[in-house]
Structure 1
Amino acid sequence: MDNKPFATVQDLIDLWRPLKQEETTRADKLLVVVSDSLRVEADKVGKNLDVMVADSVSYGTVVKSVTVDIVARTLMTSTDQEPMTQTAESALGYSWSGSYLVPGGGLFIKNTELNRLGLRQQRYGVIDFYGHD
């Protein structure tokens, strides 16, 4: 079964911004990877994302939006240097510190994105301190 991406390069352009030539090729590959990653996340909680998208046009639009968000964030991550969100330097004390955009690099899906898709598995439990009589 050939799984199609949940969004296209044109969706990325329409919902985010125009892409540079080198970004277009990368985006095309990322759309496949992100879509399959979302399928795996859905499978972890016992859901079939393709069926859910086929059943609801509105849900399909949300899946497309989340896919575009993840690909856009990944494209914003620098590939030729470490992406920094914050840096601080000092002079005579020889101090330097910084925070990385994506520690460890690579693709990641935020919990809020999984929440938007209804793919977060809620956990519940009770601890009985006193036991039963």
Structure 2
Amino acid sequence: MEPFVTIEDVEALFRDLTVEENKKAERLLSIVSDCFRQEAKKVGKNLDEMIEKQEVFENVVKSVCVDVIARNLMTSTNSEPMEQMSQSALGYSVSGTFLVPGGGLFIKKSELARLGLKRQRMGMIEMYGND
């Protein structure tokens, strides 16, 4: 199956890529697309059919795929992938927040929600009992 995005889409929506990033992004195109297809299957939907039925949905899918690829490209592979870091002097304190805890490819719940793949649950608790 064809990926939802191209390298040109990634560069247009994210930034120009280096040669190394280009190689990695080329591999990620189909991986990310297939991950979203699998997530859609889990909730009983077909992402390719959804794109065919809704004319603006293709751009939403492209945007979300580029977000995932960009996040993966920003993750450093030769140093600590810190998103935020703070240091102190005499108290000897260093703290930081990792960009991708555990590394690898991950998809946020908000990205699944943008694609309509996040199921909402509705529940109710009867507080006064049944009469």
User: Does the pair score TM above 0.5?
Assistant: yes
**Which residue number corresponds to residue 59 of structure 1?**
57
RMSD of equivalent CA atoms: 1.5
Query: Runs of 4+ in structure 1 displaced over 6 angstroms?
Result: none
Whether 1:106 and 2:104 are equivalent positions in the alignment is yes
Residue 38 of structure 1: how far off its partner (Å)? 0.7
Between the aligned partners of 1:31 and 1:43, the Cα distance in structure 2 is 19
The percent of aligned pairs where both chains have the same amino acid is 57
Q: Which amino acid aligns with 2:12?
A: D
Q: 1:7-65, CA deviations, whole angstroms, 9 ceiling, x for partnerless residues? A: 01111112221111111110011111111111111111111111111222311111111
**Corresponding position of 1:88:** 86
Separation (CA, whole Å) in 1 of partners of 2:63 and 2:102: 25
**Structure 2 Cα separation of the partners of residues 61 and 87 of structure 1:** 34
Provide the rounded CA distance (Å) in 1 between the counterparts of 2:4 and 2:96: 35
Which amino acid is the alignment partner of residue 48 of structure 1?
N
Q: How many residue pairs were aligned?
A: 131
For 1:1-133, list aligned pairs within 5 A: 3-133=1-131
Q: Distance in 1 between matches of 2:66 and 2:84?
A: 25
- What is the TM-score when the length of structure 2 is the normalising length? 0.90
Take 2:84 and 2:54, find their aligned partners in 1: how far apart are those partners? 41
Q: Distance in 1 between matches of 2:124 and 2:80?
A: 44
Cα separation, 2, equivalents of 1:99 and 1:40: 29
Q: Which amino acid aligns with 2:114?
A: R
Shift of 1:122: 0.4
* Partner secondary structure for residue 57 of structure 1: coil
Gapped runs of 5+ residues in structure 1?
Answer: none
Mapped partners of 1:93, 1:16: distance in 2: 39
- CA-CA distance at 1:86 after TM superposition: 1.8
